Amino acid sequence: MTPEVEPGRPRALVVSRRGRFRVGEPLFERGPQVSLARGRVDVGPGGIALCRIDRRGGQPIADLGRADRARDVVAALLADRGLRPTFRDRHEREARDVVARLERDAGPRRDLTAEPTFTVDPASARDFDDAVSARAEGDGFRVWVHIADVAAHVKPESGLDREALSRGNSTYAPGTVSPMLPAALSSDACSLNPGVERLAVTAEIELAGSGEPVASSFYRSRIRSDARLDYDRLDRVFAGAEPAPEPVAAAIAAARRATAAIAGARLGEGLAVSSAEPEFTFTPSGDVEGAHALVQTEAHRLIERLMILTNELVARLLERRRVPTLYRVHEQPDPARVRLLIDQLAALDVPTPALAKTAGPAEAGAAAVEASRLVAAEAERRGHGAASLSSLVLRALKQARYSEVNLGHAGLGSVAYAHFTSPIRRYPDLIAHRGLLAAIGGGEQPPGAHEAAGAAVHCSDTERDSMRIERDGDDICAAFLLRRELFERGPEARFAGEVSGVIPAGAFIRFGGERADVYEGFLPARRMPGDRFEINEVESALIGIRTGRRVGIGDAVEVAVDAVEPARGRVDLSVDRDGDRDGRPSRRPPGRGRQAGRGRR
């Protein structure tokens, strides 16, 4: 972890004693020690100090906890990168004042509080952007997707608005969050909590029995969630392991049938990639005690399909009416990059699509979609490699970003797409709300074209920064947990995994153990026994120059752990020479390897 550092920005240092003096060393990357000045903040050895650093040394300005406690280290990571979990007093006051104002007069709204409504979110979620109502009507369905009315609470150019734009989005790291909005909004007034009336913007969508949208309308509303479900509970309902809660049982059944129809209507559209995110559990004292990869289930797909459809309908309306907004764009890939992907997959014995030499971006995009489906089928046949091989497909594509110009979303197969359904945690969604409400006469002003262009660049940047921080936080917690597992099992423990990436110096390995299935580490090529390994021409495998043996992306391996640096999320691996009869990395099927994560549509 070696991010670019803004000059003068406070840094997180781990404190130690050198003789009579205290010194600090950078916690997250290697760097020189600095002398620490005495002041109002006194951090002892082994602690983490947030310090202002100049030529004279470091001045502690905050005690961030202990360097041997995972939750403290992750919180220090956010502080080191310039993020704050709290807000200034003036922003907190402004949030409370706007809530009080809207309680007195929220303006004209459609009352949907009698419509059975439910939310579905991770079990650990504290802010609920979206809620769903649904019913069958004839051969089709009527679905209501309710989104928190953040635009009513956060007005353009207000202090809250400027702070939200500066942050760009909420950053969720294990055990902590740097929210885009104060808790009075994000976890209370704007969160669609169960049993309380909330202000929303509703998309009312009429679906044919085939899953195609027949009509849609948008309006400000007042709703009340009748049930808060998490994904695991909804999956148990779908499996028949427990009954659906009343009074939303019929709404859940209708939503399930509706999203199945939507999936049938979209069959063959968009990428088929394996994705999941790690979820960590902590002890009350802040030590990480377990983790598992959250894989996509039917419950996840139900919500995802409704949100994607709503985002598409909003984007189409805004484009049709030429209202300035931010689109979520994913441009068609470079044909040369997709040809490389095809060569990489072929070198790994994975079936590949055809791509003509004269193919343009659209044809390359179609080939990438087909490649993703061939990868999924091959990984299912092998019993491993889905996440690692999917990552090859993703690397061949351009990165999704925000733009004031609609360029389509190749990954989803959408001609127009906008982020609309998470305005509590993403500023682009708030811009889309303002544009939509302006278009339907809902009392908001759309952004100017220049404003939208600037926000597109800024929000794309803050999203990438958050993704790096979240990924680093995951690595830190996984490394802490792995160190604990090694203490319990002993240093001779062996782990089954799969190759997730290769570079000339070695291979990245995802692997699972007894406490987690989200570990990842680096296996140096020089530690691979029995041969000298070099990367192949298409950079998909390391090849033994004498034996021709392959260590390729998606291949199963068995590894041992040589070293762990928890605060830096670093894990060094080796291969046991006795682990295979011919001294090569074992090809036994892996455990539950960590899935490719953080895919933000």
- If asked whether residues 203 and 278 sit together in one domain, one would say yes
Distance between CA 192 and CA 144 in Å, rounded?
14
Which residues pair with residue 534 across a beta bridge?
A: 543
- If asked whether residues 319 and 386 sit together in one domain, one would say no
Judge whether residue 577 has pLDDT over 70. no
Judge whether residue 2 has pLDDT over 90. no
- If asked whether residues 132 and 252 sit together in one domain, one would say yes
pLDDT in tens, 47-79: 999 999 988 889 999 999 999 999 999 999 999
| Residue 540 near residue 396, CB atoms below 8 Å | no
Instruction: Give strand ranges (E) for 447-503.
Output: 494-503
Work out the percent of the chain whose per-residue pLDDT is above 90.
Answer: 87
Helices (H), 322-397: 335-347, 361-382, 386-395
| Residue 298 near residue 487, CB atoms below 8 Å | no
Residue 168 lies in a domain: yes
pLDDT value, residue 379: 92
Cα dist from 176 to 77, 164, 353, 405, whole Å = 10, 18, 43, 34
Q: Which residue has the higher pLDDT, 305 or 584?
A: 305
Neighbours of 333 (CB within 10 A): 21
Distance between CA 51 and CA 12 in Å, rounded?
6
Written as one letter, the residue type at 565 is: E
Q: Which residue has the higher pLDDT, 6 or 266?
A: 266
- If asked whether residues 367 and 302 sit together in one domain, one would say no
- If asked whether residues 359 and 411 sit together in one domain, one would say no
- If asked whether residues 323 and 237 sit together in one domain, one would say yes
- If asked whether residues 301 and 388 sit together in one domain, one would say no
pLDDT value, residue 438: 97
Last residue within a domain, chosen from 397, 415, 435: 397
| Residue 424 near residue 180, CB atoms below 8 Å | yes
Instruction: Give strand ranges (E) for 354-447.
Output: 401-403
| Residue 505 near residue 557, CB atoms below 8 Å | no
- If asked whether residues 413 and 390 sit together in one domain, one would say no
Last residue within a domain, chosen from 440, 472, 504: 472
pLDDT in tens, 428-464: 999 999 999 999 999 999 999 999 999 999 999 999 9
Cα dist from 458 to 39, 45, 109, 215, 402, whole Å = 37, 39, 33, 34, 9
Mean pLDDT across the stretch 496-524?
Answer: 96
- If asked whether residues 308 and 169 sit together in one domain, one would say yes
Q: DSSP per residue over 74-135, as a string? A: HHHHHHHTT--SS--HHHHHHHHHHHHHHHH---S-EE-TTS--EEEE-TT-----EEEEEE
pLDDT value, residue 579: 42
Domain of residue 304 covers: 89-330+402-472
CA torsion sign for 163, 165, 168, 169 is positive
Which residues pair with residue 57 across a beta bridge?
A: 54
| Residue 53 near residue 27, CB atoms below 8 Å | no
Residue 577 lies in a domain: no
Please choose, from the candidates 444, 113, 479, the residue with its C-alpha nearest in 3D space to the C-alpha of residue 287: 479
Judge whether residue 588 has pLDDT over 50. no
Distance between CA 396 and CA 413 in Å, rounded?
16
Mean pLDDT across the stretch 575-580?
Answer: 57
- If asked whether residues 292 and 325 sit together in one domain, one would say yes
Judge whether residue 589 has pLDDT over 50. no
Judge whether residue 300 has pLDDT over 80. yes
Residue 377 lies in a domain: yes
| Residue 120 near residue 252, CB atoms below 8 Å | no
User: Tokens standing for 491?
Assistant: 């240093």
User: Tokens standing for 253?
Assistant: 């059944």
DSSP state of 399: P
Residue tagged 């929303």 (tokens): 200
Residue 490 lies in a domain: no
Work out the percent of the chain whose per-residue pLDDT is above 70.
Answer: 94
Distance between CA 168 and CA 105 in Å, rounded?
29
User: Tokens standing for 459?
Assistant: 């929000």
| Residue 520 near residue 294, CB atoms below 8 Å | no
Distance between CA 115 and CA 405 in Å, rounded?
37
Judge whether residue 587 has pLDDT over 50. no
| Residue 202 near residue 145, CB atoms below 8 Å | yes
pLDDT value, residue 275: 72
Please choose, from the candidates 203, 229, 192, 198, the residue with its C-alpha nearest in 3D space to the C-alpha of residue 142: 203
Residue 592 lies in a domain: no
If pLDDT is split at 50, 70 and 90, which confidence band does 594 have?
Answer: very low
Mean per-residue pLDDT over the chain, rounded: 92
Mean pLDDT across the stretch 567-593?
Answer: 58
Distance between CA 462 and CA 419 in Å, rounded?
15
- If asked whether residues 301 and 437 sit together in one domain, one would say yes
- If asked whether residues 244 and 382 sit together in one domain, one would say no
* Terminal alpha carbon distance of the chain: 25
pLDDT value, residue 270: 85
Written as one letter, the residue type at 543 is: I
If pLDDT is split at 50, 70 and 90, which confidence band does 124 have?
Answer: confident
- Who's near 104: CB < 8 A, 6+ residues apart? none
The dihedral over CA atoms of 40, 30, 2, 553, expressed in degrees to the nearest 10, equals: -140
Last residue within a domain, chosen from 397, 414, 431: 397
CA 512 to chain centre: 20
User: What element of type H or E holds 237?
Assistant: helix 231-239
Distance between CA 119 and CA 196 in Å, rounded?
13
If pLDDT is split at 50, 70 and 90, which confidence band does 601 have?
Answer: low
User: Tokens standing for 273?
Assistant: 């990639």
- Who's near 491: CB < 8 A, 6+ residues apart? 560, 561
3-state secondary structure of 411: coil
Query: Is 49 buried (19+), middle (13-18) or exposed (0-12) by CB count in 10 A?
Result: buried
User: Tokens standing for 452?
Assistant: 């939208």
pLDDT in tens, 148-178: 999 999 999 999 999 999 999 999 999 999 9
Distance between CA 408 and CA 411 in Å, rounded?
9
User: Tokens standing for 194?
Assistant: 């169960």
pLDDT value, residue 276: 74
Neighbours of 128 (CB within 10 A): 21
Q: Which residue has the higher pLDDT, 270 or 70?
A: 70
Residue 558 lies in a domain: no
pLDDT value, residue 561: 97
Residue tagged 């497909």 (tokens): 393
User: What element of type H or E holds 71?
Assistant: helix 70-80
| φ, ψ for residue 583, nearest 5 deg | 80, 10
pLDDT in tens, 352-372: 999 999 999 999 999 999 999
Cα dist from 56 to 41, 52, 245, whole Å = 17, 10, 63
If pLDDT is split at 50, 70 and 90, which confidence band does 199 have?
Answer: very high
Judge whether residue 126 has pLDDT over 70. yes
Residue 507 lies in a domain: no
User: Tokens standing for 544?
Assistant: 């033994």
If pLDDT is split at 50, 70 and 90, which confidence band does 294 have?
Answer: confident
Neighbours of 526 (CB within 10 A): 10
Residue 519 lies in a domain: no
Give the chain's domain count: 3
Tell me the residue length of the chain: 601
CA torsion sign for 242, 137, 256, 329 is negative
Judge whether residue 569 has pLDDT over 60. yes
pLDDT in tens, 381-430: 999 899 999 999 999 999 999 999 999 999 999 999 999 999 999 999 99
